[in-house]
């Protein structure tokens, strides 16, 4: 009984603090904590990503998009509006990241304890494929962008 009471108090505190904002009409999914680890089979990696985030609006945790080939349909990511942890986009070959509806990255957990949004190494060595555009048209907040040749890392401060 004490565990249930303690859990209820913890959830109530999160709700009061605004870190969890449930809404009956929102589709909530769990995030991941794999960082740069990926499945050995790229087809399986893509299927897992799609399974986790298709029809998801709120990612409770981290959104990690890694090791995705250039010819994959990522339109299912358009439904995501909020991520409570960090967003990691790395080791991919696609040209466009369709996160047009992502409005907020809360950053309750940070990548490498520093970044709410980390984007790097999204190209092939031969230069034929790679990330050219982030579709973060509705992302709000104050961003601090650090540019690199093939990467950029953004700190988002609320």
For residue range 56-73, list pLDDT tens digits in order.
999 999 999 999 999 999
Tens of pLDDT along 124-138?
A: 777 778 888 888 889
pLDDT of residue 135: 86
Which residue, 80, 47, 86, is CA-closest to 63? 86
Read off φ and ψ for residue 2, nearest 5 degrees: -65, -40
pLDDT of residue 123: 84
Alpha-carbon span 132 to 94, nearest angstrom = 8
3-state SS assignment for residue 101: coil
Whether pLDDT at 12 is above 80: no
Q: Which residue has the higher pLDDT, 8 or 102?
A: 102
Read off φ and ψ for residue 150, nearest 5 degrees: -120, 20
pLDDT of residue 17: 42
What is the pTM (predicted TM-score) of this model? 0.75
Which residue, 89, 93, 153, 88, is CA-closest to 125? 93
Q: Is 64 exposed, middle or buried (0-12, 13-18, 19+ CB in 10 A)?
A: buried
Whether pLDDT at 2 is above 50: no
Average pLDDT over residues 81-97: 94
């Amino acid at each position: 009984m004490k565990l249930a009471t303690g859990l209820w108090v913890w959830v109530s505190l999160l709700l009061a603090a605004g870190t969890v904002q449930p809404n009956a009409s929102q589709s909530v999914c769990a995030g991941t904590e794999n960082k740069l680890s990926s499945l050995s089979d790229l087809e399986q990696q893509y299927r897992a990503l799609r399974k986790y985030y298709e029809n998801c609006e709120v990612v409770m945790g981290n959104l990690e998009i890694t090791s995705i080939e250039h010819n994959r349909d990522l339109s299912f990511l358009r439904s995501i509006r909020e991520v409570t942890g960090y967003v990691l986009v790395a080791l991919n070959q696609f040209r466009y990241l369709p996160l047009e509806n992502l409005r907020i990255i809360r950053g309750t957990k940070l990548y490498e304890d520093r970044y709410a949004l980390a984007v790097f190494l999204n190209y092939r060595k031969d230069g034929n494929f790679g990330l050219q555009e982030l579709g973060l048209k509705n992302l709000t907040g104050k961003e601090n962008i650090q540019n690199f040749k093939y990467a950029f890392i953004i700190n988002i401060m609320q």
